Amino acid sequence: MAMRKFSKLDEEVLICCICVETLTEPKILGCFHRFCKQCLAKVIENIPVAEKTFCCPVCRKEFDIPEGGIEEIKGDFLLEAILECRQLEKDVQDKQREQICSSCDELAAMMAICPDCGGFVCQECNLSHKKLKAFRCHQHIVTLEDIECGKVAFNVQSMSSILKAPKCPVHEDMVLHINCLTCDKLICPVCAPIHHNGHQFEEIASAAERIKSSVQAMLKETVISGKALAETFETIENNKQEKINAVLDTLLEIKAAAQTKRRIISSTRDVTLEKLEEKRKMVIKTAEDDLFDISQKEASLVSEMKYFERFCSYIFENLEKEIDSKRKMLRNSQMTAQILTEDFDNWSVVLAAPEVKHSLQVAVDETNRHDRDLRLEGLCNFTVKFDTHNLSLSEPLEDLWSKCWEEHWVTELSKADENWHKHGYTKEICSIKYIHEVRKLVIAGRQSKEVEVATLDIKSGDILERSNICFPSGNLQPQHVVIAGIMNDSIYTSARYRKSFLINRNSNNRFIFTPFKLLGQTAVVSCITQDENRDELVVGVCGSTTLYRCNFKAMGLSSIPIRVEDLNPPVFLAVTKEGNIMYCDGGSQAITVSSRGILVSQFPPRNVLDRSLAIVEDQNGNVCILWQGENKSQRGEESKISDQDSCKASVVRLYTPSGTFISELIFDESVTMMTMMITDDDQDALVLASPEGRIHCYKMTSLGKGWCKCIQERNAE
């Protein structure tokens, strides 16, 4: 093939990624990684028969195994042509001239190259080319002596034509010189008038030039995308160092302020002791308490800032890896396109162009998909300010935490439900739960003696279906309704009638009411949940911290005493995937206990006035707790609205399973119910509801996921 060096070709392209040798019969995958045919065959042979896919040994991208095995995987004839070209150069340089003559098929020393004969020719055939009329049309014969002396310069197209010019499958002696635009197929001059009469044609050179132009245009697009990617990378680098330096400066400021405070307190202590010896002990104790308080504040602030420093580094490192991966993809596709447009013959261009163009488009789309990552946007817009007077952060991390969540949808059932006001009664939402087994979001609304159970669309929050539960007749009205779960295709709810406890089983629109007595007396149920691990219900009662297991098959109950001090009776229960019980007591306690009632972890509130209302677990084992407390922004003497109506605010706090705080989501309005939902794309989503029928759905952003993972890794150390 070519009698020159491929200066623009990266040597690593010619090396097999498995055997690390020069490629032999190269095969190329959709990810543009190349392997020897035998090396790739061994990879496929080691795949179990039941599996129909295999992974690229380099990037681990998954591909289907063709029915014909390795033979049906596309060969990289472009690279194969380059390898043949280099071998030809080596043969000429090493004087390896004794070969089979392409003209007379005799083993002899080769004297020249004839493109029309298809390769090397011996001395006799070389003389025949000069004398016989039959060879007068062979105009391109060149002696090896002229090649070695540098009198003749061959290019890739002319040399590849010697060994790679495709022949017509019908007329074996004819070269495919014509491209049929109608059939999108290469044909020979004999086939054109016979089998393609009336079709549109173009000469192979014209077709190649046209395709080269389109590929070069796409190549320019990748260059533009690469520049944009480089600018984004530069922005990341600038912001990374800026943010990390800001955090480090704040750390130094905290330590310096703490040291100044220490010096002032120590100085004050010494002066006071000299003047007032009788108050020596009191002054020392006050100073020591103040010093201890400052040390505690310093340690807390330093820990918090180190969390943020690690988070910044974590986010920037991951973004750098993503950018680097995209840059490598661009480089790989650019290299392939460059080889095609600069170094190959017309047939190679026509046959390889579709896949090359597709790879270039994929590279452009991938690099342009996210102009600015939410994680980078969140960090660039976030600042940390320190108050030296109070030794605290004047702008806490709530600004960052607010960017960890995004609203997915909001539904107001009072506006969407035509039956919201019925017969003069006002419907009240009293329970909401996501039923994982059927992937449904279920709500229960109470109206007089009736309870309505409805399912919501998890994508939009719209009502999909509803059914009414009519409890036993009489003067009794349901005071408490909870969705417990689904077992055996039945929805279980509970209702509290004065001092009685009924379980309502809804199966095929038939209602079965089962009363339960606890400890020999009729008990008042405060909360109920399903234990999917045991096919049971876990029940909490008013006035006691003891929990009960309710087994429907055995119709029996068993008690679970909770061994935790200063605990109120439960207002909300949930069971984790590991079988532990999560417990909210309506006060400042939110805990996880084992199935035997032993404390596993505790989850602290923002302040002692917050009340725990609900607790749920996400797919990663993290714990979300709904707290209700006072909204300080609405308090004041000038407010004409009562504290009970206006000063209630809600906050959802996210914790690790061990109780380490991660982030929080603050509401100015009061929500009292919460459940964790799984979306269609298998992501966790928080659903919060108020009794008035306003329902919010929130999903965690990529910034929040990064922050959560950073805290988990730090907590695991």
pLDDT in tens, 355-404: 778 777 877 777 776 555 555 555 665 666 676 776 766 555 666 677 77
Name the strands in the sheet holding 500-507, side by side, starting at the edge strand that comes first in the sequence. Answer: 481-487, 490-497, 500-507, 510-515
The pLDDT score that the predictor gives to residue 488 is: 47
**For residue 65, is it left (φ>0), alpha (ψ between -120 and 50) or beta?**
beta
Which of 93-102, 128-137, 507-516 shows the lowest per-residue confidence on average (mean pLDDT)?
A: 507-516
Q: Which of these, 415, 493, 502, lies nearest to 695 by C-alpha position?
A: 415
| C-alpha–C-alpha distance, residues 315 and 322, integer Å | 11
Q: What does pTM read for this prediction?
A: 0.54
CA gap 304, 395 in Å, rounded: 13
Nearest to 615 by CA among 654, 578, 648: 654
pLDDT at 567: 93
Angle at 598 between CA 595 and CA 601, to 5 degrees: 100
Nearest to 129 by CA among 111, 156, 147: 111
**pLDDT at position 91, please?**
65
> Which long-range contacts does 556-561 make (Cβ < 8 Å, 24+ apart)?
557/516, 557/518, 559/519, 560/595, 560/596, 560/597, 561/597
Q: How far is CA 267 from the centre of its chain?
A: 56
Residue 174: burial class (beta carbons within 10 Å; 0-12, 13-18, 19+): middle
Q: Label the pairing between strands 53-55 and 490-497.
A: unpaired
Q: Which structure tokens are listed for 10?
A: 């990266």
The answer on pLDDT for 405 being more than 70 is yes
Task: Tell me the range of 34-48, 465-479, 519-533 where mean pLDDT is highest.
Answer: 34-48
% pLDDT > 90, the chain: 10
pLDDT, tens digit (0-9, with 9 covering 90-100), for 291-316: 888 887 787 778 777 767 777 777 77
Question: What is d(CA 103, CA 135) in angstroms, rounded to the nearest whole number?
Answer: 11
